[in-house]
């Protein structure tokens, strides 16, 4: 029940926020804030309560679960469950949820109620994706994220919002439908093998498949997740969507929506189709390295603050893809840490871009110079997160990327070398961003307000969390460990079986 | 014909009787409200009589009609759609200066024709039902006869429908000449026995497909659709899109399910038609700026999706078609309901500019329209999503991968134009649009809301509907 409440709180609060905004705009904001905070606290409580167990019973199955019959005609269950992996991503979801409500406090002045409805429903969809264990339910939640996100970009976005929102919608919808075909193919293949119609993740694991069938189904899933992640040839929606979205939209996109792609790869693609994924791994890893370098290079060439940060996401998520397909302990841990650290540091950079845009009404780096002299605190925060993004030791991103590189080295040393060059590229774009925006003489004589209390309240915890992950990532790894062991076990036994 | 037969036919008798009553009523006392009330009462009574007829099902009434759960289910669907359309028509006609009452008579007659189609098991009833439906439609399409567009649309429809009916008749004659029976079930036996020679039979079936294809407006028999959709009054368009097409599809399903008249040539023809409809419908819709024309092309594509399920064959396919039709009925009636609610007495709200920033002027109507469009696009939480899922599942179960992939790709193309309307509705208000003035009566509003609620309900918890649908197989 506690899992269901995580979703329903968001859904119901969304409706209340919409209704409340008719009378009082501030009420809508407070309702949204309370709902996200409540979910965060519930998540935290679950985590703390089960933290001891995680190390005591490293192979215990799900921390919490809920299983209802939903559409018996197809053997569809309403099955939610949580393990260490989903728990960590949920914590990230609610944390960034609070951030995105707070960051919209001043920015969004039109149709406030409807905005918060969409924001909370996107978060509910993401929560559903991280919790669903029934493939139909997963697809349902996966699609459900799209519509509110579309509205967030299309209604409150910047100049080219129509183009960006439609592009985003079409890309994800097409890839999602290919995944639906793959899901159904798996469903009927499972029925063919066992005579049982089910979408249940646990039962579908280890469905005997011919290698061609497994290959095509794996590709169907992979495409959907690759578009979200994004992997290079299908990434083109991302810079547009991230740039045109309102700040909260960018934070949710970069911080959370991209992670659903990585989560899908971890949870579904590799465990469901172990040998096909094994065959596919070299291709995926090469794509990952291309993404790392290409994203970094393009980021270097951007003059729009948000677009620059958007391209850095392509680069960082390349590390995640690399880690997942290297599929060993170090690489997986690295991928997870990168996912969370990237969510925080990139989310924060988008928050800063939003704060600057609110003050200066531009995102062009050509128009910004020497901001340090007028807004030292904001500039300091920007420097901090830029350093996080370039992988400075002591901050979260470093731990993640370092572990990924270590893990990948065991699989392929040449790819590791190229990926390491990506870290170098990150130094260039991150420092260039800081230099262009904040250093130098204040040519345009900007006189801006520095961080106020609310804005400090947003950025300070993000700084703290990034430091925490960078200096003491053990709790995260410990929480992730049982889930990771089990994933590896499933894949290991399946691959061994087929040899 | 026995008393039990009469009870089994009760829904049809009530429908036909109501149209006569309405006719007499108009002769005695011409009143718009009264005629509507009579129509709605008749429809409600016919709907209620489904439960009286149900215990007798399945029952053959003469050799022409079969009253089984399948036909009763479709009776219910057609009657319910007609109920909503009649309410929309009331608002629509109230704004206009014409003879209003006769439209309801035509509606009732056409619905009777559609209902006969869904129950027919014989070429004779097939043709009679079709003509009853078509002839009333000619008059309905050109109902606003003082304007150019409806008359043009009516004539276009008349000529093409008559031509296609001729094809259909000739096809029936050829099949009869070859098989010596006009009953669907009888044909099935001969097919299974394998006595039939191919050439004449395939010719006959091809001509029947032509006639059916015209009514369904699948490519290449679709050319009338956009013009007729655009020219006809919005409630009549809703009727053509749902009752007329739905009844025909129900018949098609029964015909091929019963007669088993499927060889690979026929299946190939349907495959080509399905692919062409999905692609052409969605691609041509991209070029339109008129909402009614967009919906016309989108309906062509939807018939293509339905054909995919039809081609999947088997029990799952029948269920998929039935569920999809239910979702399609709700959605299409709702969408045209919004269009007719927004229309003013001068013109229809058909230009996409009329929908500009609608959300900020008429939030409820814009919200309802959004739900309908998202359901047409097959986005979750709407019945359209479950429908699409069902069809893809039926396709996957029969491993017709090429069709399934074309369905997926073309439905993504379809997203463009649905989103275009949605985006237009939510754009920030810059210029004055239509629809600030039009009035929507509270019953019509209630129906729109009910449709939206049904759509979401079947999208989230379809199990009750699925349970009913599983019991309705054509016999």
Per-residue model confidence as pLDDT tens digits over B292-312: 999 999 999 999 999 999 888
For the stretch A104-156, pLDDT in tens is: 888 888 788 888 999 999 999 999 999 999 999 999 999 888 889 998 998 88
Please give the mean pLDDT across all residues of chain B: 88
CB-CB neighbours of B158 under 10 Å = 17
In A106-145, the residues whose Cβ lies within 8 Å of chain B are 136, 140, 143-144
User: Using the beta-carbon criterion (under 8 Å), do B405 and A181 form an inter-chain contact?
Assistant: yes
CB-based burial of residue B391 (10 Å sphere; 0-12 exposed, 13-18 middle, 19+ buried)? buried
Residue range A453-475, pLDDT digits in tens: 888 888 999 999 999 999 998 88
User: B-chain residues within 8 Å CB-CB of A125?
Assistant: none
Across B402-421, average pLDDT: 90
**d(Cα A246, Cα A106) in Å, to the nearest integer?**
12
The percent of residues in chain A predicted with pLDDT above 70, rounded, is 97
CA atoms within 13 A on the CB side of B451: 37
Burial of A201 (0-12, 13-18, 19+ CB in 10 A): buried
Which of A162, A181, A184 lies nearest to residue B423, judging by beta carbons? A162
Burial of A57: CB neighbours in 10 Å, binned 0-12, 13-18, 19+: exposed
Supply the DSSP string of B371-427, one letter for each residue. HHHHHHHT-TTSHHHHHHHHHHHHHHHTT-HHHHHHHHHHHHHHHHHHHHHHHHHHS
Whether B462 and A178 lie within 8 Å, measured CB to CB:
no
Two structure tokens written together for A336: 């997870």
- Mean pLDDT, to the nearest integer, of A240-261? 90
Which of A346, A311, A338 lies closest to A99, judged by CA? A346
Per-residue model confidence as pLDDT tens digits over B252-272:
888 888 776 666 778 888 999
Q: Decide if B380 touches A, using CB distance below 8 A.
A: yes
pLDDT at A56: 62
- The pLDDT confidence band at residue A497, using thresholds 50, 70 and 90, is very low
The per-residue pLDDT for A335 is 92
Q: Do A143 and B379 touch (CB under 8 A)?
A: yes
pLDDT tens across B27-67, in order?
A: 998 889 999 999 999 999 999 999 999 888 788 888 889 99
With cut-offs at 50, 70 and 90, classify the pLDDT of residue A498: very low
* Span A193-211, pLDDT tens digits: 888 888 988 888 888 888 8
Neighboring chain A residues of B404 at a CB cutoff of 8 Å: 181
The helix/strand/coil state of B290 is: strand
The answer to whether the beta carbons of residues B39 and B86 sit under 8 Å apart is yes
Closest to B427 (Cα-Cα) out of B366, B373, B376: B366
Q: CA angle, B80 as apex, B74 and B81 as ends, to 5°? A: 90
Q: B132-173: per-residue pLDDT in tens?
A: 999 999 999 998 888 888 899 999 999 999 999 999 999 999
Average pLDDT for B321-342: 93
Is residue B297 within 8 angstroms of chain A, CB to CB?
no
Residue B437 confidence (pLDDT): 64
- Nearest of B420, B422, B242 to residue B334 by alpha carbon: B242
From A153, which residue of chain B is nearest by alpha-carbon distance? B423
Min CA distance, A184 vs chain B (Å)? 6
Distance between CA A125 and CA A176 in Å, rounded? 14
CB within 8 Å: B416 and A166:
yes
Q: Hey, of A110, A184, A186, which one would you mutate to test binding to chain B, going by the most B CBs within 10 A of its CB?
A: A184
**Three-class SS string for chain A?**
CHHHHHHHHHHHHHHHHHHHCCCCHHHHHHHHHHHHHHHHHHHHHHHHHHHHHHHHCCCCCCCEEEEEEEEHHHCEEEEEEECHHHHHHHHHHHHHHHHHHHHHHHHCCCCHHHHHHHHHHHHHHHHHHHHECEHHHHHHHHHHCHHHHHHHHHHHCCCCHHHHHHHHHHHHHHHHHHHHHHHHHHHHHHHHHHCCCCCEHHHHCCCCCCHHHHHHHHHHHHHHHHHHCCCHHHCCHHHHHHHHCCHHHHHHHHHHHHHHHHHHHHHHHHHHCHHHHHHHHHHHHHHHHHHHHHHHHHHHHCCEHHHHHHHHHHHHHHHHHHHHHHCCHHHHHHHHHHHHHHHHHHHHHHHHHHHHHHHHCCCECCCCCCHHHCCHHHHHHHHHHHHHHHCCCCCHHHHHHHHHHHHHHHHCHHHHHHHHHHHHHHHHHHHHHHHHHHCCCCCCCCCCCCCCHHHHHHHHHHHHHHHHHHHCCHHHHHHHHHHHHHHHHHHHHHHHHHC
Q: Mean pLDDT for chain A? A: 87
CA pair distance B266, B270, nearest whole angstrom: 6
Q: Which of residues 138-197 of A touch B (CB under 8 A)?
A: 140, 143-144, 146-147, 150-151, 154-155, 162, 165-166, 169-170, 173-174, 177-178, 180-181, 184-185, 187-188
Contacts of A177 in chain B (CB under 8 A): 408, 411-412
Q: How many CB atoms lie within 10 A of CB B4?
A: 13
Q: What secondary structure does DSSP assign to B68-94, as a single string?
A: -HHHHHHHHHHHHHHHHHHHHHHHHHH
**A299-313, A366-380, B254-268, B295-309: segment of lowest average pLDDT:** B254-268
B392–A181 C-beta distance less than 8 A: yes
User: Among B380, B396, B415, whose Cβ lies nearest the Cβ of A140?
Assistant: B380
> Pick the residue with more confidence: A97 or A372?
A97
Contact of B46 with B18, CB cutoff 8 Å: yes
The answer to whether residue B471 neighbours chain A at the CB level (below 8 Å) is no
pLDDT at residue B196, as a whole number: 58
Give bridge partners of residue A319 from the DSSP assignment: none
Give the pLDDT band of residue B436 (cuts 50, 70, 90): low
Q: Which of A147, A178, A188 sits opposite B408 (nearest CB)?
A: A178
Grade residue B432 by pLDDT with cuts at 50, 70 and 90: low
- Residue A495's pLDDT is 57
**Is B396 within 8 Å of A188 when comparing Cβ atoms?**
yes
User: What distance in Å separates residue A190's CA from the closest CA in chain B?
Assistant: 12
Residues of A whose CB is below 8 A from B405: 181
Residue B37 vs residues A142, A290, B281: alpha-carbon distances, Å: 46, 69, 38
* ipTM of model: 0.87
DSSP character string of B84-150: HHHHHHHHHHHTS-S--THHHHHHHHHHHHHHHHHHB-BHHHHHHHHHHHHHHHHHHHT-STTSHHH
Whether the upstream peptide bond of residue A296 has omega within 30° of 0, thus cis, is no
Q: Quick check: helix, strand or coil at residue B59?
A: strand
Whole-number percent of chain B with pLDDT over 90: 54
Largest CA distance in chain B: 69
**A42 in B contact zone (CB under 8 Å):** no
The count of CB pairs under 8 A between chains A and B is 65
Note whether B376 and B421 are within 8 A (CB). Answer: no
Cα–Cα distance, A55 to B472 (Å, whole number): 55
Distance CA B21, CA B140 (A): 19
Q: Which residues of B touch A151 (CB under 8 A)?
A: 426
Please tell me whether the peptide bond between A47 and the residue prior to it is cis, using omega within 30 degrees of 0: no
Residue A55 CB-density burial (10 A; 0-12 exposed, 13-18 middle, 19+ buried): exposed
Please state which of the ranges A59-68, A99-108, A237-246 shows the lowest mean pLDDT. Answer: A59-68
Q: Which two tokens stand for residue A487?
A: 């994933």
Query: Best mutation site among A71, A136, A139 for testing chain B: the one with the most B CBs within 10 Å?
Result: A71
Chain B residues close to A170, C-beta within 8 Å = 412, 415-416
Instruction: Return the CA Rg of chain B.
Output: 21
Instruction: Give the tokens for residue B10.
Output: 């009760």
Q: Which two tokens stand for residue A490?
A: 């499933």
Q: Hey, are the CB atoms on A147 and B470 less than 8 Å from each other?
A: no
Closest CA to A461 of A125, A29, A40, A28: A40
Do A155 and B467 lie within an 8 Å CB cutoff? no
Beta-bridge partner residues of B61: B65
CA atoms B7, B12, B18, B21: torsion sign: negative
The long-range contacts involving B403-406, CB below 8 angstroms and separated by at least 24 positions, are B403/B271, B403/B274, B403/B275, B403/B308, B403/B311, B404/A181, B404/B308, B405/A181, B406/B275, B406/B278, B406/B279
Contact status of B30 with chain A (Cβ, < 8 Å)? no
A329-365 pLDDT, tens per residue? 889 999 999 999 999 999 999 999 988 888 888 888 8
With contacts defined as CB-CB under 8 Å, which chain A residues touch B461?
A: 70-71
Q: What is the pLDDT of residues A396-409, one digit of tens each?
A: 888 999 999 999 99
Gap from B325 CA to chain A (nearest CA, Å): 18
pLDDT higher than 90, residue B241 = yes
- Give the minimum alpha-carbon distance from A116 to chain B in angstroms, rounded to a whole number: 16
Q: How confident is the model at residue B281 (pLDDT cuts 50, 70, 90)?
A: very high
Give the CA distances from residue A219 to residues A212, A257, A305, A388, in Å, rounded to whole numbers and listed in that order.
11, 20, 34, 33
Report pLDDT for A122. 93
Q: Report the residue from A150, A166, A184 with minimal CB separation from B393.
A: A184
Sequence-ordered list of residues with C-beta below 8 angstroms from that of A212, at least 6 positions apart, any chain: none
């Amino acid at each position: 029940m506690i899992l269901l409440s995580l979703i329903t709180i968001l859904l119901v609060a969304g409706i209340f926020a919409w209704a409340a905004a008719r009378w009082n705009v501030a009420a809508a904001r407070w309702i949204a804030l309370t709902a996200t905070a409540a979910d965060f606290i519930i998540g935290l409580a679950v985590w703390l309560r089960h933290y001891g167990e995680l190390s005591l019973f490293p192979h215990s199955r799900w921390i919490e679960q809920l299983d209802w019959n939903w559409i018996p005609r197809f053997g569809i269950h309403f099955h939610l469950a949580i393990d260490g992996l989903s728990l960590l991503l949920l914590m990230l979801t609610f944390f960034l949820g609070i951030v995105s409500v707070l960051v919209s406090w001043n920015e969004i002045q039109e149709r406030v109620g409807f905005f918060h409805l969409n924001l909370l429903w996107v978060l509910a969809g993401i929560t559903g994706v991280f919790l669903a264990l029934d493939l139909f339910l997963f697809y349902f939640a996966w699609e459900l994220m799209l519509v509110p996100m579309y509205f967030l970009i299309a209604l409150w976005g910047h100049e080219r919002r129509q183009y960006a929102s439609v592009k985003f919608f079409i890309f994800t919808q097409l890839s999602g439908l290919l995944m639906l075909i793959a899901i159904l193919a798996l469903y009927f293949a499972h029925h063919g093998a066992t005579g049982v119609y089910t979408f249940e993740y646990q039962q579908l694991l280890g469905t005997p498949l011919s290698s061609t069938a497994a290959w095509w189904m794996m590709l169907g899933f992979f495409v959907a997740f690759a578009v979200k992640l994004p992997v290079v040839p299908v990434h083109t929606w991302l810079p547009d969507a991230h740039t045109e979205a309102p700040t909260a939209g960018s934070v949710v996109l970069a911080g959370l929506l991209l992670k659903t792609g990585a989560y899908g790869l971890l949870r579904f693609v590799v465990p469901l189709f172990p040998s096909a994924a094994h065959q596919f791994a070299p291709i995926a890893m090469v794509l990952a390295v291309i993404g790392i370098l290409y994203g970094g290079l393009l980021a270097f060439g951007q003059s729009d603050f948000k677009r620059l940060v958007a391209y850095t996401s392509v680069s960082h998520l390349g590390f995640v893809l690399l880690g997942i397909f290297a599929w060993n302990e170090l690489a997986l841990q690295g991928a997870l840490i990168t996912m969370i650290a990237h969510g925080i540091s990139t989310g924060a950079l988008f928050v800063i871009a939003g704060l600057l845009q609110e003050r200066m009404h531009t995102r062009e780096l050509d128009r910004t110079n020497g901001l340090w002299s007028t807004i030292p605190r904001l500039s300091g925060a920007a420097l901090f997160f830029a350093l996080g993004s370039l992988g400075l030791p002591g901050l979260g991103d470093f731990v993640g990327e370092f572990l990924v590189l270590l893990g990948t080295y065991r699989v392929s040393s040449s790819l590791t070398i190229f990926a390491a060059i990506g870290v170098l590229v990150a130094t260039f774009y991150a420092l260039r961003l800081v230099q262009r925006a904040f250093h130098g003489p204040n040519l345009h004589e900007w006189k801006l307000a520095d961080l106020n209390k609310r804005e400090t309240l947003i950025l300070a915890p993000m700084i703290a969390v990034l430091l925490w992950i960078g200096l003491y990532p053990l709790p995260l790894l410990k929480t992730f460990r049982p889930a990771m062991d089990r994933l590896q076990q499933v894949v290991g036994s399946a691959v061994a079986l087929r040899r | 014909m026995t008393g039990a037969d009469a009870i089994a036919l009760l829904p049809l008798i009530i429908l036909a009787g109501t149209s006569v009553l309405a006719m007499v009523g108009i002769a005695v006392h011409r009143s718009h409200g009264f005629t509507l009330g009579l129509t709605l009462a008749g429809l409600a009574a016919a709907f209620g009589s489904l439960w009286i007829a149900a215990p007798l099902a399945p029952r053959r009434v003469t050799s022409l009609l079969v009253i089984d759960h399948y036909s009763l289910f479709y009776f219910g669907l057609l009657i319910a759609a007609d109920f909503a359309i009649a309410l929309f028509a009331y608002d629509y006609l109230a704004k206009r200066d014409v003879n209003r009452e006769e439209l309801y008579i035509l509606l009732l007659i056409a619905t009777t024709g559609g209902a006969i189609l869904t129950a027919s098991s014989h070429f004779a009833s097939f043709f009679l039902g079709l003509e009853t439906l078509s002839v009333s439609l000619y008059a309905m399409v050109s109902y606003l006869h003082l304007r150019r567009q409806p008359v043009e649309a009516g004539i276009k429809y008349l000529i093409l429908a008559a031509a296609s009916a001729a094809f259909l008749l000739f096809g029936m004659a050829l099949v009869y000449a070859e098989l010596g029976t006009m009953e669907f079930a009888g044909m099935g036996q001969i097919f299974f026995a394998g006595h039939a020679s191919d050439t004449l039979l395939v010719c006959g079936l091809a001509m029947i497909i032509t006639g059916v294809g015209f009514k369904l407006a699948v490519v290449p028999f679709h050319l009338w659709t956009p013009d007729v959709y655009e020219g006809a009054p919005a409630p009549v368009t809703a009727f053509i899109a749902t009752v007329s097409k739905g009844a025909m599809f129900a018949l098609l399903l029964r015909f091929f399910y019963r007669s088993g008249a499927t060889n690979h040539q026929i299946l190939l023809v349907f495959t080509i038609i399905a692919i062409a409809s999905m692609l052409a419908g969605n691609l041509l819709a991209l070029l339109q700026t008129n909402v009614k024309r967009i919906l016309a092309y989108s309906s062509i594509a939807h018939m293509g999706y339905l054909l995919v399920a039809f081609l999947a064959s088997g029990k799952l396919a029948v269920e998929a078609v039935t569920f999809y039709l239910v979702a399609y009925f709700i959605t299409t009636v709702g969408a045209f309901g919004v269009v007719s609610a927004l229309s003013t007495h001068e013109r229809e709200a058909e230009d996409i500019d009329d929908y500009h920033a609608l959300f900020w002027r008429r939030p409820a109507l814009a919200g309802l329209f959004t739900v309908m469009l998202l359901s047409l696009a097959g986005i979750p939480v709407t019945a359209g999503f479950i429908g699409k899922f069902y069809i893809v599942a039926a396709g996957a179960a029969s491993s017709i991968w090429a069709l399934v992939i074309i369905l997926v790709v073309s439905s993504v193309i379809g997203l463009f134009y649905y989103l275009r309307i949605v985006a237009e509705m939510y754009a920030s208000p810059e210029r004055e649009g239509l629809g600030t003035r039009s009035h929507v009566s509270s019953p019509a509003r209630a129906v729109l809301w009910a449709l939206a609620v049904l759509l979401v309900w079947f999208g989230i918890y379809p199990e009750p509907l699925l349970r009913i649908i599983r019991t309705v197989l054509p016999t």
